[in-house]
Amino acid sequence: MANLPDSVRTVMNRIESAGYRAYLVGGAVRDMAWKYPVSDWDLATDAPMDVLLAWYPTFHPGWRFGVVDAGPGIELAMLRAESAYSDRRHPDRVLAIPAIRQDLIRRDFTVNALAVNDHGLESGADTACSDLQNKVWRAVGAAPTRFAEDDLRIFRLVRFHMTYGGTIAEETWQAARAKLGEGITVSRERRLAELLKMLRAEPLNWKSYRNLDLDRGFERPPMQMLPWKWPPSTEARLLYWIRQGFWDFDGACQWLGRWPLARGQRRSLIDAAYWLWKQPEPTGWAYAARLGTPGSGLLREMAQAQGYDGILDAAPLAITPWELQARFGLTGQKLGEATRYLRHLVAQDPGKNLRATLERELSLWFKG
C-alpha cells in the first residue's frame, strides 16, 4: 500500500477510524501492480450508504448504485451485489453486502477483481493473482454470462488488451466472439467512448481488434490498409479510422451522422474527411489547411504526420480588401469574389502571396 496519494490515504484512514473497512479495488490495484500511472482511484467499503452520503454529499451520477465522489479522481463505493441487467448496462437491483469477496465476484475480468488494504489482498477469482502476474485477461466466472450482462465488456476486453498487452484466455475470447456474432445491444454512446480510448493505442497493438473483427461492433466496414502514418491526437486518429473503413465519402458522412458526437466535432470531421477523399495526398490536405477550411486543423495534423514540411498555416493576403477597393474599385459581391479567388491562389502556391503578383493575377482574372 505504499505510494498512495495523500488524498486517497486520507479517505481510507477516515473509513478505518470509524470502524469500517476500506479497500483499494479494481483498475487501481492492477495498474499499481503493473507499474502504470493511476488516474482513477476506486475504493470500496462496508460502510453503509447513509454514512458515505453524510461524509461526501457531492452529487455523483452513480449514487443510486452506491457510489459517491470522495475527492478529485476518487470514487468510493459501498460493497454490493447486483441482480440481472435488463438494460444490458445497469443492474436491476443493488444490495449492500458485508464481504469484499462477494463484491469482487461481480466484476468483469479477474485482474480487475482484486482488492487491497493494509490488512492484505483479497480476490474475487481463484486465478486472479496468477492472471495478474502473467497478464492474462480472463472473465470472472462464466465468460458468456459476463458478456450477456453487459456486452460493453467485449469492447473493454479488446481495449485493455490493446493498452496493456498480455494474453486473452481462450474461453473468454471465444465467448466474446460468440456474443459479438449475436449482435450488440449496448448504446453507441458507450461504444464511442471505448473507441476513443482504443485510438490512444498504437497501430501495432490493434491485433486483437482485427482478429475479433470488432469493426462489426462499431458498424464500420472492415479496415483498409492505407499507406499513411498514425497522427498524434485522438480526434485526428478518429478521422483516419473513419477513412480506413469507408470506400466513399457518403458512407463516412452517414456513419458520422449516426454516432453521438458533439455538433462542432462532427462538422469538423465531415469537412476534413471530404478532403481525404478528394485529395489523397498530403499536398492536397496542406492546400485545404492553408485555405483555412473547416476541419483544417485535422488536415494540418494529418499532413504533418506524413512528413509534409511545407507551409500549413493560412497567411494574410499581401493585399488587403481596402487596397482592392482603392486599386480596382471593387465593392460588395465582386470584392468578395476577388478576395476568395486570391485566397485560393495563395493556398495553392504560398509563393504568390506578394502584392505585385496578386495585382497581376487579379488583372488577368478580370480579363478572363
Residue 100 φ/ψ region, left for φ over 0, alpha for ψ in the -120 to 50 degree band, beta for the rest? alpha
In tens, the pLDDT along 304-356 reads: 999 999 999 888 899 888 888 887 787 888 888 888 888 989 999 999 999 88
How far, in Å, CA of 146 to CA of 94, rounded?
17
How distant, in Å, are the alpha carbons of 8, 32, 38, 84 from that of 3?
Answer: 10, 9, 11, 37
Grid cell in block for residue 1: 500500500
Helix (H) or strand (E) holding 25: strand 22-25
**Of residues 55 and 330, more confidently modeled:** 55
CB atoms within 10 A of CB 15: 23
Give whichever of 41-45, 289-293, 354-358 has the largest mean pLDDT.
41-45
Say what the pLDDT of residue 11 is: 97
Torsion of the alpha carbons at 295, 249, 230 and 210, rounded to the nearest 10: 140
On the question of pLDDT at 1 being above 80, the answer is no
Grid cell in block for residue 25: 479495488
Structural domains of the chain ordered from first start: 1-131 (3.30.460.10), 135-219 (1.10.110.30), 221-311 (no CATH), 321-367 (no CATH)
On the question of pLDDT at 26 being above 80, the answer is yes
In tens, the pLDDT along 229-287 reads: 999 999 999 999 999 999 899 999 999 999 999 999 999 999 999 999 998 899 999 99
Q: Give percent helix, percent strand, percent coil of the chain, each to the nearest 5.
A: 55, 10, 35
Percent of the chain at pLDDT above 90? 73
Say what the pLDDT of residue 17 is: 97
Q: What angle do CA 298, 299, 300 make, to 5 degrees?
A: 90
Grid cell in block for residue 36: 502504470
On the question of pLDDT at 87 being above 60, the answer is no
In tens, the pLDDT along 102-122 reads: 999 999 999 999 999 999 999
Question: β-strand 74-78 against 120-123: which pairing, if any?
Answer: unpaired
Give the confidence band of 82 by pLDDT, cuts at 50, 70, 90: low
On the question of pLDDT at 81 being above 90, the answer is no
Grid cell in block for residue 95: 444490495
Lowest pLDDT segment from 83-87, 148-152, 326-330, 358-362: 83-87
DSSP readout, 47-111? S-HHHHHHH--S--TTGGGTEEEEETTEEEEE-EEE---TTSSS-S-EEE-S-HHHHHTTSSBGG
